[in-house]
Amino acid sequence: MAATLDWAPRPAEWERVFGALPRSTLEQSWAYGAAAEAAHGHRARRAIVHGEGGALGVVQVLERPLLGAVQVCEILRGPLWLQGVSEPDRQAGNAAIRAAYSLRQRRLLLWMPELPDAPASHSLMRAQAMRPVITGYSSIWLGLRPPLDKLRAGLDGKWRNALRNAEQSKLKVQVNRGGRALDWLLERHDAFRRTRGFRAPSPALIRGFIAGTPRKSDLTVVSAALGSELVAGALFLGHGTTATYYVGWSGPQGRELDAQTLLLWRGIEALREGGIALLDLGGIDTRRAPGVARFKLGLGGEVFTLSGTWL
């Protein structure tokens, strides 16, 4: 059983397949590829994976020169498969992708597949003559289809109490698609990441995503103010029927009033109303950022860890 790769998909065809994915990742979206091109000088190369019965899924590769004619090619959290695609078809698709990237072609492939950290995943990647070089990324999936009262009942007790306190505070919350609140949030986020020296998405990458997405609804900014002063903000980016909690920042007043708890909940409400079925909470690291991890775990979603990055 063989699979083929269409490396020249029309944007509309890509979005049709991507929008049908039961679970998508931000890094495989067309807009993220456009952002990586604009912000970091990558070349986004996209393919629809086809089998005998039609489209199987999609893959996006970010390419950049390394030395001379050698290119570093990254697959971040892909490929992604349509509902019902069989394991043999997935294996054939992976083999076709691997065949397109080898050192003989002066392409150095770094592959972070959207596969769980499990023996079967490791066997699949080793079958493609790859070896693990970076441990797996962890995050949380939160399904948004249940009624809000059921989602709220699934919250950790401390999280639910913090939400109730924030709702009873003087915080004023707004939901919009950009403007002053976005600019304010990105300025605070950038200053924080530079001061702390940690890896986080740059404002240039975020603005590149915003410029590259055809849907205004893919951008959700939730902000909290005390009087006329903004004290906390949260940014959610949509991709297909999935969204990612991408940036959150609170100042001292916002932290005192549990503002980020309220913003995340209001974001969930807005995303559900917009037809988003699934939320990726944007990564957890219990060692480097235990407080953030505990905060996200309080939502009661499905924790997952991927198999890592392979070379």
Say how far apart CA 95 and CA 97 lie, in whole Å. 5
pLDDT value of position 67:
76
Whether residue 160 sits in one domain with residue 283: yes
Whether residue 150 sits in one domain with residue 97: no
Specify if 311 maps to a domain. Answer: no
Q: Is the pLDDT of residue 197 over 90?
A: no
Whether residue 159 sits in one domain with residue 35: no
Report the pLDDT averaged over residues 52-73: 91
pLDDT in tens, 242-278: 999 999 999 999 999 999 999 999 999 999 999 999 9
Q: Is the pLDDT of residue 199 over 80?
A: no
Say how far apart CA 193 and CA 247 lie, in whole Å. 11
Q: Give strand ranges (E) for 31-70.
A: 43-51, 54-65
Q: Is the pLDDT of residue 196 over 80?
A: no
Closest CA to 311 of 129, 79, 58: 129
> Which of 87, 107, 130 is the endpoint of a domain?
130
**Tokens standing for residue 305:** 């860890």
Are 233 and 185 in contact, with CB atoms under 8 Å apart?
yes
Say how far apart CA 49 and CA 288 lie, in whole Å. 37
pLDDT in tens, 110-149: 999 999 999 999 999 999 999 999 999 999 999 999 999 9
Higher pLDDT, 172 or 288: 172
Report the pLDDT averaged over residues 1-7: 91
Say how far apart CA 281 and CA 268 lie, in whole Å. 11
**Tokens standing for residue 236:** 């959610």
What's 288's domain CATH number?
3.40.630.30
Q: Compute the mean pLDDT over every residue in the chain, rounded to the nearest whole number.
A: 95
- Percentage helix, strand, coil for the chain under 3-state DSSP, each rounded to 5: 40, 30, 30
Whether residue 147 sits in one domain with residue 108: no
Whether residue 38 sits in one domain with residue 16: yes
Q: Is the pLDDT of residue 170 over 70?
A: yes
Higher pLDDT, 54 or 1: 54
Buried b vs exposed e over 129-164: b needs ≥16 C-beta within 10 Å? ebeeeeebbebbebebeeeeeebbeebeeebbebbe
Whether residue 212 sits in one domain with residue 102: no
Whether residue 262 sits in one domain with residue 226: yes
In DSSP terms, 280 is beta-bridged to 141, 244
Single-letter amino acid code for the residue at 163: L
pLDDT tier at 309, thresholds 50, 70, 90: very high
Whether residue 161 sits in one domain with residue 73: no
Q: Is the pLDDT of residue 213 over 70?
A: yes
> Which of 103, 130, 157 is the endpoint of a domain?
130
Single-letter amino acid code for the residue at 305: T
pTM: 0.95
Whether residue 116 sits in one domain with residue 85: yes
pLDDT value of position 69:
80
Q: Is the pLDDT of residue 1 over 80?
A: no
pLDDT in tens, 72-120: 999 999 999 999 999 999 999 999 999 999 877 888 999 999 999 999 9
Higher pLDDT, 238 or 102: 238
pLDDT value of position 38:
94
Whether residue 126 sits in one domain with residue 198: no
Report the pLDDT averaged over residues 215-239: 96
SS3 per-residue string spanning 105-157? HCEEEEEECCCECCHHHHHHHHCCCCCEEECCCEEEEEECCCCHHHHHHCCCH
